[in-house]
Structure 1
Amino acid sequence: MGIGEIMTAIPHRHSISRRSSIQQLQQPQNGSNSPRAGIRGRKAKAASNEVKTTITRLEYLNNKFNVNPSFDVEISGDETDDSEPEGAKEHEEVERVEIEGESGKHRRAEVHFDPRLLDIDILKKQQNVHEIESSLDRSISLLTPLFQYIQDFESNLNTLSNEMEVLQTRLVNLNDEIQKNSKVDNLLTPILNDMLIPPQCIKILLHGKLDEKWVEQLTILQEKKEILQNYETKEKFNHENIVELLGLIDKLELKCVERIKRYLIENIKYLRGTHTSSVKAQSKLLQVKEIFVFLKSKNSRLAKEFETAYVYTIRWYYYFNFVKYISSLEGLKILENEYDAERKSTYSNNLSSTSSSYGQRSLMLDNTDSINEYLINLPKRLEKMNDENNQYSILGQIAESSGIGGMKFNMEQIFVFLNQTMMDNLTIEFNFIVEFFILTNNDDINNMIKQIFSPIMKMGTNFTTYLLNNCRSDYFGILLTIRRIQRMEYEIQNRCLPELFESYLNTQLLALWPVFQRDVDALCNSITQTLTSTSIIKMVVSSKNNILVPLKITQSFSIVLSNLVQLVQNLVFELETSEPLNSSIERLSNTFEKGMVQLGGSLDDAKGKRRLFLYVNFQLVYNVLDNEMAGTPPTKVSTTGVEGQASPVGETICNHYEQLVQAYS
């Protein structure tokens, strides 16, 4: 704020209309030599000096604080009377001040003079200004390095900006190149991936272990070859390079064929050992079953030779092991439950012992008081046959130890041991042949199975004949064996086995049924001989005999008939009327009925003894059959899982004896 502005801002009550005392002092005075004039002159001079001092201070302030210091301020005013009171200063007049600018033009300005300005301590203000100036100098000295740093930073920033522009240009160029390379990669990468063979793949195929991982690499190699063969037919590819790659793959495949050949030879040699497991060798081969397909596609003649070698090797393997197994079964002791007619005691024969003739008690239904243990044990044997948890085969080592330990088995158990083992091994071998050799033609499969198992099945047939020759009187054992064979036939269909084993079982049935019929003939002869014997006629006619008690032969016959009725059902394939068992039941029933009627004819009918005798015996047979039929529901599910109905043959026999009871009641 300039001094002129300060002066203008100060209010005054009175304006100065006369010329200032400064102007008056500047004019020459008349009579200056007079004493009064001299005194006044001295006073005026003193006042003029004081005013000059004030003006000097104002000019200093004007130079320091005026916004535009180019203006010169001329201030004129009257002298201030020291005798005037302080309040008189408020009534001063406004003075006219002439201000001369740089242009030389003059203009009038009214300035309100404030006498309080005279009281301002200029020195103190000046000191403050000097302090501010020194503080500014110090600040400037401190800011000088920062200013220099900012200048350097600006210079570096310009350099960096130039470098960034260069980098941006290079980046644009690189992006263009990347886009071009990306297009090339998109075109070439799939082709390179198709053509290139991983080094790890080659390393595993040449030196790796033949396992599932090796087969995976072999599959990759085959895929690469197929892709290259597809590229070979296209014109835009270099055929020379493709042909060269195909040649390398062919050489690598020859190396793979050589390794597969050695691997198969090792496994075939393993099967020729005496203490080896075919299941273990087959499981190893199945883990790499793709190798035979590869071998068959590359060298069919060699694959056929290996197939033939395997067939003859596994044939010898099964033959060798089944010979030992059958020998262990021959060492088992069988429960024939035969009775000596004189000693009337049970005994057991070893399979190697000679069999007794038809005089055995199991085929005799007499009227003696001896307990026929053969008939008593029939329910247990039926229960074992119907037990699903009892469907197992015995190991050869266990069979040998059992024969040495004296364990005894029924005929049907020994038969099942051999045939169940044979069927299980045939199932394993059939699944392996189909899965490993990839055979789809049924004739090829049947021929291979026939070559492997024909000797074993021939041994099984001979063993069955040998077993029947040593168990001629066990007619229920034969019938239970027939039922087990029929269940095996059903199991064959579930396992989808070849027809060879079914033919083998049919051969077994053809050997078993005639023996069973022969035993039934022996039973019929035993019943006829017993009922027509003189001793039983005398016993019946004798007054000491109680006709209200059924005969012993009736009790035995009812047990035999009820168990035969229980086994009459064949719920798998055949109808009941197509089995020889139905005619056998009718023969036994007719023989017994005819013999009882003839025996009852020897009694006197005047007192009704004959009718009472026949009623009591037929009533026992009917009760046993009725209890047996009552335990059989009208519809049931057999152990083979096939729904069936109660035996119509059993119902017919039961109804027949019910009519006899009613006729003689």
Structure 2
Amino acid sequence: MESLQQILGTDNVSQDTTVITPKADNKTDNQEEEDIFQTFIKECKIPDYQANVSASKEFETLKKKQDTLRSTLETVVPPLREYIVSFSKRLSDFTSDLSFIRSKSSELKNLLEYNSKKLETISPLVNDLIIPIDVINEILHGKINASWQENINFIRDKQEIYSKYHPTSDNSETTTNDLEVPKDFEIMNDILECLKLIILERSKKFIVHNIKLLRRHHPTPSQRIQNDMIQVAECFQFIVENNYSLALELRQAYSYTMRWYYKQYFARYIRSLTILQFKAIDTQYALGNGLTNIKIDENSNDKSNSTLFSSYLSPNYLYGLSTISNETISEYFQIKRRLSILSQEDNTVMISQIAENNRNKENYIEIGFKNLNLAILDNCSVEYNFLKSFFRVSDNVEELNGILEQIFQPTLDQAMEYTIHQLLQQTYDIFGVLISIRVANQLQFETERRNVPIISEYLNNQLILLWPRFQQLIDFQCENLRKISITQNMVKKNNNAILSKPHELTVQFGKFLSSLLMLAGKSAFQEGSDETMNDERAEPLYNSIIRMRNEFETVMTKCSKVTSSPERFLSLNYLYLYNILQKQHLAIQDDEAREEFDDTLDTSNDSNIKLDNTPLIFKETEDHFKILVEAYSKVT
């Protein structure tokens, strides 16, 4: 059995009897045979049988490959062959085109080199002579403003370039041989000349239009028009370069217009200042008035009667002289509050509306004087700078000063008339006149800083009016001192009150003298050299204070003779004045020390030089009363 199993290849079959279940009735006999055959094949281990199965599978695989190859040869290879043939044909065409392109490239390269050589000579000519259409349109129709001036610079450059090609130019012999002049150069040159004439005409109309704006019934502020014109200053300079006579005519038209403009403007402003109410200072504001124990001798035969005659023209006389209280006269001689006009940093001018509606009764003549002259200085400075920036035809400064004088001369004449008739003629305000002098001194310094010579000369003319009027008022005060009635002043010789306290005239004179010395400290002169000291002595205030001091001492000497102790009386009164001057001197030194301390905060401390800016007349007056006090004290 084992041998038979080995032959049949059924070693793995179980020796146990396999029970085969009967098949279903629906299976056929053939199926049973096939199952048996398949089972036999699977369980058989004979190599020959197994090899035949593998060969069958390989055969089927080869058959499938054959079918795939046949399908590929029939469907894929023919289109691929056609594509390769077409590609080969196109490649041949591209090769021929590339050869054509190579030849064309070489031809174009040669042509480009040829044209480049030609353009080397033509391009500079085109760039020199061409005028863009945008520039022409801008010159013809553009708005004249700061950017429009670029067209002027463009035309200037073109004029300079065209001169190289122009056959009539001075350098034509050296340039026309090297530069080829185009056939239509004359046409281009005519176009350039037309553009130049258009710029001249439009610039002239622009300037004339702005000048006419100043002559309107309601004129535009001149500063606004000047700002518009200064932005196109090159327009006038272009006119100067190409039409000098037209430039002079335009400048003359402007000067005539501004002459009328400032005359009308300042006439209205002076009328406004005329409406401004000033405090009336008449003959009652004099030394000796407003005191209880002093009477003025009205029957004096002094020549002051001629001076007092002018008081009949004052407004107070027309409406009846009103009696002034003693306190009002005493307050008048203290001017410390009025000095703020000399030290205030705000130098803005009072506008006409404020002047017309100002109801302040504490306005003095220096208010009107400063506002008017400061307004003139400001406007003159602005006008001078504008003339120098816009209407400059040469570097001659004297020519500009002459035009400025032509513009402002009527205005300056009006201001002089205002000073004479409105400020000086009807006033006895000696401090107002002196403060106005100091205002004029300050404005002179400002004029030198701004470099406006015409205003410096005008202020000198104002000082020529102010100083004589100041000396007339000094004469008036001196004459009033001479008219003091000594006999009625000192009723009792043995009046102890007179010898125990300063006389009320001394108190009043002390205020008067202190105020004058305060204004002497506001002088334009600074001590530090013999030259400035001589200048201070030359000032009328120096001699005027000495005159007032001598007149007062004469009155005091007469008063002392009716007292029981003249030396004691004089020593007491002079000591009072000396104490006032000492206090004032200390106040001046404190102010100087404060200013010096402020300066050291901004500068280095290397310089230890200290200058005493106390006025010379102040020192001399202080020393004078010190000597008098010492002299009369020794006698007593």
- Give the TM-score normalised by the residue count of structure 1: 0.71
User: Are 1:589 and 2:533 an aligned pair?
Assistant: no
| Match runs of 1:106-117 below 5 Å | none
Whether the 8 Å contact between 2:486 and 2:558 is mirrored in structure 1 is no
Taking the aligned partners of 1:223 and 1:618, their CA distance within structure 2 comes to 82
CA RMSD of superposed structures (Å): 3.6
Per the alignment, residue 629 of structure 2 pairs with 661
Per the alignment, residue 355 of structure 2 pairs with 399
Inter-CA distance 356–580: structure 2 relative to 1 (3 Å threshold): farther
Deviations for 1:88-116, whole angstroms, at most 9, x for unmatched residues? xxxxxxxxxxxxxxxxxxxxxxxxxxxx9
Per the alignment, residue 553 of structure 1 pairs with 505
Per the alignment, residue 322 of structure 1 pairs with 266
Per the alignment, residue 203 of structure 1 pairs with 137
User: Are 1:465 and 2:420 an aligned pair?
Assistant: yes
Per the alignment, residue 456 of structure 1 pairs with 411
Deviations for 1:494-529, whole angstroms, at most 9, x for unmatched residues? 1111x2221111111111111111212222333344
How much does 1:463 deviate?
Answer: 1.3
Taking the aligned partners of 1:211 and 1:268, their CA distance within structure 2 comes to 16
How much does 1:436 deviate?
Answer: 1.7
Taking the aligned partners of 2:276 and 2:99, their CA distance within structure 1 comes to 102
Taking the aligned partners of 1:478 and 1:337, their CA distance within structure 2 comes to 11
Per the alignment, residue 467 of structure 2 pairs with 513
Inter-CA distance 595–396: structure 2 relative to 1 (3 Å threshold): same
Number of paired residues? 529
Per the alignment, residue 492 of structure 1 pairs with 447
Give 1:174's match in structure 2, choosing from 98, 108, 133. Answer: 108
Between 436-445 and 488-497, the greater mean CA deviation after superposition: 436-445
Taking the aligned partners of 1:135 and 1:512, their CA distance within structure 2 comes to 133
User: Are 1:227 and 2:161 an aligned pair?
Assistant: yes
User: Are 1:580 and 2:540 an aligned pair?
Assistant: yes
- In structure 2, the residue corresponding to 1:631 is in which secondary structure? helix
Whether the 8 Å contact between 1:330 and 1:351 is mirrored in structure 2 is no
Taking the aligned partners of 2:587 and 2:73, their CA distance within structure 1 comes to 125
Larger Rg: 1 or 2? 1
Give 2:490's match in structure 1, choosing from 518, 523, 537. Answer: 537
- In structure 2, the residue corresponding to 1:645 is in which secondary structure? coil
* Structure 2 counterpart of 1:283, one-letter code: N
How much does 1:124 deviate?
Answer: 5.1
Taking the aligned partners of 1:209 and 1:644, their CA distance within structure 2 comes to 62
Whether the 8 Å contact between 2:278 and 2:365 is mirrored in structure 1 is yes
Deviations for 1:177-213, whole angstroms, at most 9, x for unmatched residues? 4454445445433432221111121112223333333
Whether the 8 Å contact between 2:283 and 2:428 is mirrored in structure 1 is no
Whether the 8 Å contact between 2:152 and 2:234 is mirrored in structure 1 is no
Mark the runs of 5 or more structure 2 residues left unpaired by the alignment: 1-6, 8-46, 167-171, 292-310, 527-531, 600-610
Inter-CA distance 152–514: structure 2 relative to 1 (3 Å threshold): same
Mark the runs of 5 or more structure 1 residues left unpaired by the alignment: 1-84, 86-115
User: Are 1:380 and 2:380 an aligned pair?
Assistant: no
Whether the 8 Å contact between 2:478 and 2:551 is mirrored in structure 1 is yes
Inter-CA distance 369–185: structure 2 relative to 1 (3 Å threshold): same
Identity among equivalent positions (%) equals: 27
- Give the TM-score normalised by the residue count of structure 2: 0.74
Per the alignment, residue 160 of structure 1 pairs with 94
Taking the aligned partners of 1:343 and 1:599, their CA distance within structure 2 comes to 16
User: Are 1:421 and 2:378 an aligned pair?
Assistant: no
User: Are 1:133 and 2:66 an aligned pair?
Assistant: yes
* Structure 2 counterpart of 1:297, one-letter code: E
Deviations for 1:424-463, whole angstroms, at most 9, x for unmatched residues? 2211221222222214212321221222222221121111
* Structure 2 counterpart of 1:518, one-letter code: Q
Taking the aligned partners of 1:469 and 1:483, their CA distance within structure 2 comes to 15
Per the alignment, residue 189 of structure 1 pairs with 123
How much does 1:650 deviate?
Answer: 1.5
| Match runs of 1:186-335 below 5 Å | 186-232=120-166, 233=172, 234=175, 235=177, 236-238=179-181, 240-276=183-219, 277-335=221-279
Bigger RCO (CA 8 Å, 6+ sep): 2
Considering fraction of residues, name the structure with more strand: 1
How much does 1:172 deviate?
Answer: 4.3
* Structure 2 counterpart of 1:133, one-letter code: Q
How much does 1:382 deviate?
Answer: 0.7
Inter-CA distance 646–184: structure 2 relative to 1 (3 Å threshold): farther
Taking the aligned partners of 2:192 and 2:268, their CA distance within structure 1 comes to 49
Give 2:575's match in structure 1, choosing from 603, 619, 622. Answer: 619
Inter-CA distance 370–419: structure 2 relative to 1 (3 Å threshold): closer
- In structure 2, the residue corresponding to 1:333 is in which secondary structure? coil
Whether the 8 Å contact between 2:289 and 2:329 is mirrored in structure 1 is no
| Match runs of 1:348-359 below 5 Å | 353-354=314-315
How much does 1:413 deviate?
Answer: 0.7
